[in-house]
Amino acid sequence: MKAVVGDILPLAIAVTISPVPIIAEILLLLSRKPLANGTAYVVGFVVGVAGVLGILVAVAGAMDLSAGSGPSSGAGTLQLALGVLLLVAAVRRFRGRPKPGEEASMPAWMDGIAGFSPGKSLGVGIVVGALNPKNLAVGLAAAVAIASASLSTGQAVGSVAVYVVVAVLGVAAPLVVLLASGDRARPILDGWKAWLGQNNATVMAVLFLVFAVVLIGKGLAGV
């Protein structure tokens, strides 16, 4: 299990430092119902990430990716394909980054986020955690690592739990800052939002490139 955790931790980090979900949490914490909306969003994000990873692990397990003492060639093929997919995404993100002096655009679903209710914040958290394409890609890579390691059910559940805990740290951080700092949190959160929004494309391009290289290397070794 230790080896699997070592494989999935970097993937979980790719989820936790994703700028857009963190920006959404910051905007909710600056809304009319900051604690209710922010907490609901974090809970929804946890549910979304855990739910989709659990489903992906079950599907990957049904494909019998394990070859006894190690991953099968099928697992290597999947990792290779995911690596290529992330490499393409890295190039697209880098080419789409804002030019100097240009303001970065945010997803359309963030319009009106200040008026969200806790229920809508919960739903958005679930969708962002589960259906974000980047989360799906790295979640699938994590599922392949877990399913191909011949773990017991308890070990697989433990691995999923570790992944989810690390993956949620990014969206939970602004909530922790608000709870710890109160009114003093606003300028901190505003600074985070501005930096993350302007550097979103660059951050994601670098992340995609790093994990693309890792997955392509693992895939080539396993094919």
User: Please, which pLDDT band fits residue 174 given cuts at 50, 70 and 90?
Assistant: very high
Query: What is the tens place of the pLDDT at every residue in 176-206?
Result: 999 999 888 899 999 999 899 888 888 888 8
CA 150 to chain centroid: 25
User: Please, which pLDDT band fits residue 222 given cuts at 50, 70 and 90?
Assistant: low
First and final CA of the chain: distance in angstroms?
A: 22
* The two structure tokens encoding residue 145: 């690592």
User: Please, which pLDDT band fits residue 73 given cuts at 50, 70 and 90?
Assistant: low
What is the torsion angle, in degrees rounded to the nearest 10, for the CA atoms of residue 140, residue 142, residue 143 and residue 149? 140
Choose among 22, 195, 211: nearest CA to 98.
Answer: 195
Choose among 133, 124, 130: nearest CA to 38.
Answer: 124
Place of tokens 């290779």: 80
Choose among 145, 12, 131, 132: nearest CA to 78.
Answer: 145
Q: Is the pLDDT of residue 220 over 90?
A: no
Question: Which of 29-43, 56-70, 147-161 has maximum average pLDDT?
Answer: 29-43
Query: What is the tens place of the pLDDT at every residue in 123-140?
Result: 999 999 998 888 888 898
Which residues have C-beta within 8 Å of that of residue 183, sequence separation ≥ 6?
Answer: none
